[in-house]
Amino acid sequence: MRDRIQTTAASSQQSAIRGLLLLALLASGLTLLAADFRSQCADRAAIESVYYNHRLGEKPPFAQALPSATLENLVRQDLRKETALKKFYGVEVTPALLDAEVRRINSATRASEMLAEIKAALNNDPERLADSFAKPFVVERLLRDKFNDDDALHAPQRRQIERTRNELLSARTNGADPGKLLALLKRSHSNAVAQTTWQLTARSAETNGPSADELAIRKQFGPNAQLLSSPPAAGKDQKSYFQDLPPDLQNVLLVQLRQPGDISAVIEMPVGFLLCVSKERTETILSVAMLSIPKCSYEQWLETQSENDL
């Protein structure tokens, strides 16, 4: 009986020791995570301070413009995006991807002096540069690409525009002319229909360059962004040139919109779906009514993913 009591006591003592060891390991792990997060925030602050110092005009002190809470939130957003990329699309950011991104940045940068300042702010540490500077670019690009190509997420918008196309095809079969097709399109989506006329001729020498609208769009969305139509400018003969559209879109429209009343297929773009109805086509112009249905918002989708889900 005494032996059994001693054995039970020893077993309880061992269980208690194992419990304490487990708690110690968990505490150690949490401490490491907290230290790693603080390090990431410090690196983000170093990077953002370089950008901030290059801003022109009057500005408050850096600590006031970007307080610690803001920097921490930026780091958390980057971590959430990386987690979403892995969870929803099974993509991990490998050292090889980061190395390729660093090489791309070094070869393609047009701000070599600023890049040198960022490297110096990170103590010229290649690992810190890859993790804190290059990784957010890689994650954002990969996640946006995967999101834009996610058929399941964007299925409702595709079905909506396909229903509209079927209605237009049925109306044309029943004798609707281009004017009636345009009226039907506007009745279904009054706020999402734009009309534009593209010049099929080459851009003249005096206008051989992107407009202010194009430059603004590319600054916001990247160098490959395209204007599908240009808003009219007061007192200025502003034209839209077909040659400025993405080559794949040019090929589709030239084949499918040969005469007034032609209806294009549903065209998937990175951020939405397009449907075009031809109003007029000559040797020099292509005039269309264009329905644009945006895809599910990337930003809203990220917001809907709770921290527990990620």
Mean pLDDT of the 277-290 span: 95
User: How is the chain split among helix, strand and coil, in percent rounded to 5?
Assistant: 60, 10, 30
Which pLDDT value is given to residue 144?
A: 95
String of DSSP letters for 178-242: HHHHHHHHHHH-TTSEEEEEEE-SPPPGGG-S--HHHHHHHHHH-TT---SS----TTS---EEG
Backbone torsions φ then ψ of 83, nearest 5 degrees: -65, -40
Find all residues with CB under 8 Å of 72, minimum gap 6, and list them.
37, 41
Local structure of residue 265 (DSSP, 8 states): P
pLDDT tens per residue, range 16-44: 555 554 454 444 444 545 778 899 999 99
Contact 296, 154 (CB under 8 A): yes
Of 217, 207, 215, the C-alpha closest to 238 is 207
pLDDT tens, position by position, 190-220:
789 999 999 999 887 655 555 545 544 444 4
pLDDT in tens, 49-77: 999 999 888 889 999 999 999 999 999 99
Q: What is the dihedral of CA 46, 51, 54, 55, to 10 degrees?
A: -130
Domain locations in the chain as residue ranges? 14-149, 155-294
d(Cα 159, Cα 168) in Å, to the nearest integer?
A: 14
